[in-house]
């Protein structure tokens, strides 16, 4: 009886010691993880700040204006084109479209009619992965062309 008790005691002692070590290591591991996470949060935050600053820098009005003037044929809207929603004319029920004749404009509140899929379904899919290096080669080709 006493022998069994002792054995149980020794076993319990071992188990508790093992458990304690496990726990201690687990806590240490979690702490490391926490530090790593906090560090990466700080890094991400900083990256976000940098990107915000960069975005602001890239979208500053004078730069946008220069790009728009060079690449787009946009002009400021004249005042008569700015209307309140209530200022819009009522929606017509029919319209004459060149080449199409008179078409009826569907009621916007009606349930949507079944529509064709925007892409054909029977487009052949690639049968195998592209060979290794093909994508890089493609990039290179684009870069070459761009030059």
Partner 1 sequence: MNILIRRPRQRARPCTPADLGGGQPLVQIEGTVRAAIETGRSRIVIAGALFGLCFLVLGGRLADLMLFRGGIEPTPTRTAGLVAATGSASPVERAPIVDRNGVLLAVNLRSASLSADPRRIIDPAEAATKLTRLFPELNRAELHQKLMSDRGFLWIKRNLTPGDQKSVNALGIPGLAFHVEQKRLYPQGSLAAHAVGYTDIDSKGIAGIEQYFDDRLRDPGRLQDPLQLSIDIRVQHALRDELSKSIEQFSAIGGAGLVMDARSGEIVAMVSLPDFDPLSPGGAVGDAKFNRITLGVYEMGSTFKTFALAMGLDTGVIGMNGGYDASHPIRISRFTISDDHPKNRWLSVPEIYQYSSNIAAAKMAVDVGAAGQKAFMERMGMLRKPVVEVPEVGSPLFPKRWNTIETMTIAFGHGLSVSPLQTGVGIAAVVNGGLLVPPTLVKREAGAVVPAERVLKPQTSANMRRLMRLVVTDGTGTKAEANGYVVGGKTGTAEKAGVGGYQKKALLSSFVAAFPMHEPRYVVIAIIDEPKGTKETHGFATAGWTAAPAIGRIVSRIAPLLAVAPIDANAPKVREALMLPAPAVGAPERKLASF
Residues 80-119 as x/- pattern, contact with partner 1 by CB under 8 A:
x-x-x-----------------------------------
CB of 65 to partner 1, least distance (A): 7
Residues 6 or more apart in contact with residue 96 via CB below 8 angstroms: 102, 103
8 class by beta-carbon count within 10 Å (0-12 exposed, 13-18 middle, 19+ buried): exposed
Q: Least Å distance between CB 59 and partner 1? A: 8
Counting contacts by CB under 8 A, is residue 26 touching partner 1? no
Most distant CA atoms of the chain, gap in Å = 105
CB of 92 to partner 1, least distance (A): 25
Smaller CB distance to partner 1: residue 77 or 131? Answer: 77
What is the distance between the alpha carbons of residues 22 and 13, in angstroms, rounded to a whole number?
14
Q: Does 29 bind partner 1 (CB under 8 A)?
A: no
Binding site for partner 1 (CB under 8 A): 34-35, 38-39, 41-43, 45-46, 49-50, 52-54, 56-57, 60-62, 65, 76-80, 82, 84
């Amino acid at each position: 009886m006493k022998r069994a008790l002792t054995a149980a005691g020794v076993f319990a002692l071992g188990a508790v010691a093992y458990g304690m070590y496990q726990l201690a290591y687990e806590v240490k591991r979690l702490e490391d993880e926490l530090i790593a996470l906090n560090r990466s949060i700080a890094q991400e935050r900083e990256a976000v700040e940098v990107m915000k600053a960069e975005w602001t820098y890239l979208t500053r009005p004078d730069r946008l204006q220069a790009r728009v003037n060079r690449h787009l044929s946009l002009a400021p809207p004249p005042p008569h084109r700015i209307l309140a929603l209530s200022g819009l004319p009522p929606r017509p029920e029919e319209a004459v479209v060149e080449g199409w004749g008179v078409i009826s404009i569907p009621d916007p509140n009606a349930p949507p009619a079944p529509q064709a899929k925007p892409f054909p379904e029977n487009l052949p899919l690639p049968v195998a992965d592209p060979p290794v290096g093909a994508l890089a080669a493609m990039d290179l080709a684009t870069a070459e062309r761009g030059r």
